[in-house]
């Protein structure tokens, strides 16, 4: 059981390390990374869930542009949708 | 110079006999003091706004808006009832002023542009 | 424009009004929980948008709650945003198709001028006469039809705080004809004479509509006589703040014990049910001892926020700003600086963003630089931990010693902020004029619904923080503290041989003059990401240091045993000044558009913290031995 425990623990630690790196890296770098990931996923015809996940990561990176992601007050404005009707 | 009105009265000299024909009528006659700056009024003073000077002093902000323009926008216009309700010790600066039914906190410096016709005669 | 296309695209509405007119309550009433808070592009001004659906037409609306503005001629960044948004001058923000101007029915004199200005803009306008129930109770008389006639725009009564109070507004809104295409509004700042003319027009309209308002209630006048009194006022303020800090300890005692018991039970259950090994240690020493230690302080944080929200809602805060203006002014700050400084008690980030209401740029900069010194709520767990471990729960006169110490710590933060502001004003930032010019809004009973919504929001944020970044950092810390494993035959707890142990020992050299042991020195590092994490880090580190198979005790008795009082006091002094979390530094950078200020801020805070802790430790050691 020791090995099993070690593996599970290792996975948890790995996840935590990735999360901490994601949360603490400079915002611009994070956004670039996320955009590259999303573009990559879309381009090479990867499975749909991967594309969606990459999109979600990119949105998260955009949300974190404000520096503090805890409360929503620090986040940049959502992009307003394009106008559909004509004047 | 506390802004109170001066009171004059032209009255007949009662000691004389009343066969004096052209006696001056008894007319209590108030000559109100010229309007004083709000910055000189102390707690308890009441009056009405007479005038707001177009003071070039700015609020130091992005739009370079002047204090007196902001005072106008807030309602410091001629005829509005005014009362100084509180002031800070020592020095009396800043002060709390009731304008109509709204309370404002101002520094004396900001209040300088407002001229008040003081009541209390 | 066909009716079909109108229904497709949500109609853009904007909510405008002077501050304190109940606009936010109406916004909440209309949009409920369908709100999104963010920022206007390029500035740290809060952008609140919500959506709702018209009940009879099915038309969807997007409602933008614009910052309160006394006029379309701005004096603060807030007001500039409102004007620019209405004029369509904001990048990436289309101008609203309709404007709803919220006016306070009990104070039309102040509110109506803005309506006239908005009318001149040309955008279809609807006036919401808010607090109409309150007005009626107070005996305000108004001929609504006549007012509508005079203004030339629809006027509808609303009661934002009551259920269904917005119905009339919705009906009227839907009955409005679809907006016609019109050229972009030309806008020039009005001249002095124009403003006077507008004001005269306001008076004329009010007179024509038979508007009468009764005088303020006597009880409130008497209350203000006390609250604004030069001697009684500050005394009341101090007593109020003191009461709040006392409550943070006394009211939280029972809930905290419950959370603590829950966390301890969970730790014990995991310890027993999982065979010893890496996972067991990760969960018990990392997750439970780490994140759990922080979770225990949830009740205290909630109580603090409760009082902050209460004070904000009641209308007391501007009066506090008035009372403190003299003191603030003596070091070059404006009394207005108090309000964002108080909300920094919750978190420095919105506090720094709230400085947008300070007109003078230099004042604003000074306030931003000192805002971190006003305790952020993340410091509370650290303060509470040390106070609980070292300060006995003894009554001192009418007060409680623990509450007294907490009050002192907050006051120390304010005094420090004042000293720093003074130094800044003297040397680097010289401002000439510190405006006050503040409206003191009427007192109102805090709205329970808004209060609960606010608390709920804060609760979610706290739990999210604990569950994400704090948890992740604790897991990483656990890993660093458990590996490399100690070599055979090594003595002492395993943690001393790990990465974390090595880092701690290195840092100890830096912090030894302050009386910090290596555990504290280590805990300060993850504390840079989030202040509360220092508590969690201490929890994990001490939990891993427990040798043998003793049951994991809670953190408080452990540090009470191993630290000296001088060390504890020194750590408290450090935390009064402690360098901000990374998030705050990033926000400062965005707010000031330069890396210079965050670097200066971090630097001076570190230096002050070091100095304060050093002095405290030396003095305390000398006095206590």
Give tens-digit pLDDT for C524-542.
Answer: 988 888 888 888 899 888 8
Residues 6+ apart with CB under 8 A from C415: none
Contact indicator for C358, C341 with CB cutoff of 8 Å: no
How far is B107 from B116, CA to CA, in rounded Å? 16
Contact indicator for C250, C403 with CB cutoff of 8 Å: yes
How far is C436 from B60, CA to CA, in rounded Å? 12
Interface check for C583 against chain A (CB to CB < 8 A): the answer is: yes
Count: domains in chain B: 1
* Mutant choice from B38, B86, B87, B91 vs C, greatest count of C C-beta within 10 A: B86
Interface check for A85 against chain C (CB to CB < 8 A): the answer is: yes
Residue carrying structure tokens 């007593």: C239
Give tens-digit pLDDT for C17-38.
Answer: 998 888 888 888 888 766 666 6
Read off φ and ψ for residue C559, nearest 5 degrees. Answer: -75, -30
Give tens-digit pLDDT for C375-402.
Answer: 677 788 888 889 888 888 788 777 788 8
pLDDT of residue C235: 92
pLDDT of residue B20: 46
Q: Does the domain spanning C3-214 belong to CATH 3.40.1710.10?
A: no
Count: domains in chain A: 1
Contact indicator for B50, B116 with CB cutoff of 8 Å: yes
Best CA proximity match to C249, nearest among C109, C475, C118, C405:
C405
- Domain membership of residue B74 (yes or no) is yes
Phi-psi label, residue A78: left if phi above 0, alpha if psi -120 to 50, beta otherwise: beta
Read off φ and ψ for residue B56, nearest 5 degrees. Answer: -75, 0
Contact indicator for B29, B10 with CB cutoff of 8 Å: yes
Q: What is the mean pLDDT of residues B62-76?
A: 78
Residue C487: pLDDT above 80?
A: no
From the list C8, C277, C590, which residue is nearest A2 (CB)? C277
Contact A76 C39 (CB under 8 A): yes
Please give the full DSSP string across C157-195, using - where no structure is assigned.
Answer: E--TTSTTTTHHHHHHHHHSPPPPP-PPPP--PPPHHHH
Tokens of A16: 């935590």
Chain C positions in Cβ-Cβ contact with residue B79 (cut-off 8 Å): 203
- Domain membership of residue B17 (yes or no) is no
How far is C609 from C616, CA to CA, in rounded Å? 10
Contact indicator for B56, B89 with CB cutoff of 8 Å: no
Q: Would strands B81-87 and B46-52 be described as parallel, antiparallel, or unpaired?
A: antiparallel
Closest residue in C to A18 (Cα) is: C472
Interface confidence: ipTM more than 0.95: no
How far is C402 from C424, CA to CA, in rounded Å? 33
Residue A87: pLDDT above 50?
A: no
- Domain membership of residue A39 (yes or no) is yes
Give tens-digit pLDDT for B19-38.
Answer: 444 555 565 555 667 888 88
Closest residue in A to C281 (Cα) is: A9
Residue C271: pLDDT above 80?
A: yes
**Cα atoms in the 13 Å half-sphere on the side-chain side of C485:** 5
A-C C-beta contacts closer than 8 Å: 130
pLDDT band at C129 (very low <50, low <70, confident <90, very high): very high
For C435, which DSSP code? -
- Domain membership of residue A9 (yes or no) is yes
- Domain membership of residue B27 (yes or no) is no
pLDDT of residue B8: 46
Going by beta carbons, is chain C in contact with chain A, meaning 3 or more pairs sit under 8 Å apart?
A: yes
Residue C2: pLDDT above 50?
A: no
Residue C434: pLDDT above 80?
A: no
Tokens of C585: 């530094």
pLDDT band at C613 (very low <50, low <70, confident <90, very high): very high
Residue C362: pLDDT above 60?
A: yes
Closest residue in C to A70 (Cα) is: C461
b/e string for C244-268 if b means 16 or more Cβ within 10 A? Answer: bbbbbbebbeeebeebbeebbeebe
Contact indicator for C50, C37 with CB cutoff of 8 Å: no
Instruction: Please name every residue paired with C526 in a beta bridge, in sequence order, or none if there are none.
Output: none
Chain C positions in Cβ-Cβ contact with residue B93 (cut-off 8 Å): 326
Chain C positions in Cβ-Cβ contact with residue A73 (cut-off 8 Å): 37-39, 46, 349-350, 353
Please give the full DSSP string across C218-266, using - where no structure is assigned.
Answer: HHHHHHHHHHT-TTHHHHHHHHHHHHHHHHHHHTTHHHHHHHHHHHHHH
pLDDT band at C473 (very low <50, low <70, confident <90, very high): very high
Residue B12: pLDDT above 60?
A: no
Q: What is the mean pLDDT of residues B68-95?
A: 88
Contact indicator for B50, B95 with CB cutoff of 8 Å: no
Interface check for B5 against chain C (CB to CB < 8 A): the answer is: no
Query: Of A8-17, C358-367, C435-444, which one has max mean pLDDT?
Result: A8-17
Contact indicator for B49, B79 with CB cutoff of 8 Å: yes
Domain definitions of chain C by residue range: 3-214
Chain B positions in Cβ-Cβ contact with residue C225 (cut-off 8 Å): 85-86
Instruction: Output the CA–CA distances (angstroms, integers) from residue B114 to A48, A49, B73, C77, in the order listed.
Output: 69, 68, 13, 26
CATH number at residue B73: 2.30.30.90
Using a CB cutoff of 8 Å and minimum separation of 24, what contacts does A78-85 make?
Answer: A78/C36, A78/C38, A78/C49, A79/C92, A80/C92, A80/C93, A80/C94, A83/C9, A83/C94, A84/C5, A84/C8, A84/C9, A85/C1, A85/C5, A85/C6, A85/C8, A85/C9
- Domain membership of residue B10 (yes or no) is no
Residue C199: pLDDT above 80?
A: yes
* Mutant choice from C82, C195, C235, C330 vs B, greatest count of B C-beta within 10 A: C195
Q: Which residue has the higher pLDDT, C208 or C485?
A: C208
Residue C496: pLDDT above 60?
A: yes
Contact C347 A19 (CB under 8 A): no
Q: What is the mean pLDDT of residues A24-49?
A: 84
Q: What is the separation of C-alpha C513 from the centre of its chain, rounded to a whole number of angstroms?
A: 35
- Domain membership of residue B48 (yes or no) is yes
Average pLDDT of the residues of chain B:
75
> Out of B76-90, C224-238, C293-307, C443-457, which region has the weakest mean confidence (pLDDT)?
C443-457
Residues 6+ apart with CB under 8 A from C80: B62, B63, C74
- Domain membership of residue A69 (yes or no) is no
Residue carrying structure tokens 């006036």: C127
Residue C616: pLDDT above 90?
A: yes
How far is B53 from B113, CA to CA, in rounded Å? 5
Q: What is the mean pLDDT of residues C472-497?
A: 80
pLDDT of residue C552: 47
Contact indicator for C469, C521 with CB cutoff of 8 Å: no
For B94, which DSSP code? S
Contact C436 B91 (CB under 8 A): no
- Domain membership of residue B13 (yes or no) is no
pLDDT band at C229 (very low <50, low <70, confident <90, very high): very high
pLDDT of residue C572: 92
pLDDT of residue A45: 74
- C162: how many CB neighbours lie within 10 A of its CB? 11
Q: What is the mean pLDDT of residues C413-429?
A: 79
Best CA proximity match to C442, nearest among C318, C315, C308, C312:
C315
**Residue span of the structural domain in which B100 resides:** 33-118
Read off φ and ψ for residue C511, nearest 5 degrees. Answer: -100, 0
Contact C39 A75 (CB under 8 A): yes
Contact indicator for C570, C515 with CB cutoff of 8 Å: yes
Average pLDDT of the residues of chain C:
83
**Residue span of the structural domain in which A59 resides:** 2-64
């Amino acid at each position: 059981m020791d090995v099993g425990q070690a593996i599970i623990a290792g996975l948890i630690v790995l996840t935590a390390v990735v999360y901490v790196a994601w949360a603490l890296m400079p915002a611009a770098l994070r956004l670039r990374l996320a955009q590259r990931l999303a573009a990559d996923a879309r381009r090479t015809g990867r499975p749909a869930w991967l594309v969606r996940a990459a999109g979600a990561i990119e949105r998260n990176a955009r949300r974190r542009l404000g520096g503090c992601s805890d409360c929503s007050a620090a986040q940049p404005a959502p992009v307003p949708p394009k106008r559909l009707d004509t004047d | 110079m506390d802004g109170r009105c001066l009171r004059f009265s032209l009255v007949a000299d009662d000691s004389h006999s009343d066969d004096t024909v052209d006696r001056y009528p008894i007319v209590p006659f108030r000559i109100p003091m010229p309007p004083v700056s709000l910055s000189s009024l102390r707690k308890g003073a009441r009056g009405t706004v007479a005038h707001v000077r177009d003071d070039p002093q700015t609020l130091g902000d992005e739009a370079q808006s002047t204090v007196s323009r902001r005072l106008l926008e807030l309602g410091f216009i001629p005829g509005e009832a005014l009362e100084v309700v509180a002031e800070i010790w020592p020095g009396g600066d800043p002060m709390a002023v009731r304008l109509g039914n709204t309370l404002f906190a101002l520094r004396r410096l900001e209040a300088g542009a407002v001229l008040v016709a003081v009541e209390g005669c | 424009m066909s009716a079909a296309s109108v229904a497709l695209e949500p109609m853009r509405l904007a909510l405008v009004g002077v501050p304190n007119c109940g606009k936010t309550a109406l916004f909440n009433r209309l949009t409920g929980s369908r709100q999104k808070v963010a920022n206007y592009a390029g500035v740290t001004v809060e952008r609140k948008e919500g959506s709702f659906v018209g009940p009879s037409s099915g038309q969807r609306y997007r409602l933008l709650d614009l910052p309160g503005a006394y006029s379309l001629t701005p004096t603060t960044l807030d007001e500039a945003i409102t004007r620019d948004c209405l004029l369509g001058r904001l990048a990436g923000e289309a101008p609203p198709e309709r404007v709803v101007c919220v006016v306070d029915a009990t104070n039309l004199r102040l509110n109506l001028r803005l309506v006239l200005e908005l009318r001149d803009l040309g955008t279809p306008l609807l006036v919401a006469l808010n607090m109409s129930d309150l007005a009626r109770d107070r005996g305000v008389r108004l001929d609504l039809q006549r007012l509508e006639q005079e203004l030339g725009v629809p006027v509808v009564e609303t009661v934002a705080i009551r259920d269904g109070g917005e119905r009339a507004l919705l009906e009227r809104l839907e009955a409005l004809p679809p907006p016609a295409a019109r050229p972009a509004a030309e806008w020039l700042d009005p001249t002095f004479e124009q403003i006077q003319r507008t004001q005269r027009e306001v008076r004329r309209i009010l007179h024509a509509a038979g508007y009468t308002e009764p005088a303020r209630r006597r009880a409130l006048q008497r209350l203000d006589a006390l609250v604004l009194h030069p001697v009684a006022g500050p005394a009341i303020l101090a007593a109020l703040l003191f009461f709040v800090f006392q409550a943070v300890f006394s009211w939280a005692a029972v809930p905290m014990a419950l959370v603590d018991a829950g966390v301890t039970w969970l730790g014990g259950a995991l310890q027993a049910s999982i065979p010893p090994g890496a996972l067991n240690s990760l969960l018990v020493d990392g997750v439970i001892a780490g994140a759990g230690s922080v979770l225990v302080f949830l009740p205290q944080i909630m109580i603090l926020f409760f009082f902050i929200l209460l004070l904000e809602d009641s209308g007391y805060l501007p009066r506090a700003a008035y009372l403190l203006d003299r003191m603030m002014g003596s070091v070059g700050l404006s009394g207005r600086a108090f309000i964002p400084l108080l909300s920094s008690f919750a978190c420095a980030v919105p506090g720094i963003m709230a400085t947008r209401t300070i007109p003078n740029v230099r004042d604003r900069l000074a306030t931003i630089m000192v805002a971190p010194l006003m305790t952020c709520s993340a410091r509370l767990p650290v303060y509470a931990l040390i106070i609980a471990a070292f300060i006995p729960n003894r009554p001192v006169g009418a007060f409680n010693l623990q509450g007294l110490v907490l009050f002192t710590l907050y006051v120390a933060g304010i005094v420090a902020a004042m000293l720093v502001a003074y130094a800044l004003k003297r040397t680097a930032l010289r401002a000439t004029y510190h405006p006050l010019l503040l409206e003191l809004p009427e007192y109102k009973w805090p709205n329970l619904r808004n209060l609960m919504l606010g608390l709920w929001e804060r609760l979610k944020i706290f739990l999210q923080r604990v569950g994400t970044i704090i948890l992740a950092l604790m897991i990483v810390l656990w890993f660093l503290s458990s590996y490399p494993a100690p070599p055979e035959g090594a003595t002492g707890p395993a943690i001393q041989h790990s990465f974390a142990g090595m880092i701690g020992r290195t840092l100890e050299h830096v912090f030894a003059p302050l009386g910090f042991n290596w555990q504290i020195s280590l805990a300060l590092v993850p504390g840079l990401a989030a202040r509360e994490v220092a508590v969690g880090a201490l929890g994990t580190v001490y939990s891993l240091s427990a040798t043998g198979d003793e049951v994991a005790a809670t953190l408080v008795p452990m540090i009470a045993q191993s630290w000296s009082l001088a060390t504890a006091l020194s750590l408290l002094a450090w935390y009064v000044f402690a360098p901000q979390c990374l998030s705050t530094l990033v926000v400062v950078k965005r707010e000031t558009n330069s890396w210079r200020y965050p670097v200066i801020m971090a630097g001076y805070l570190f230096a002050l913290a070091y100095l304060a802790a050093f002095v405290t430790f030396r003095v305390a050691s000398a006095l206590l031995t």
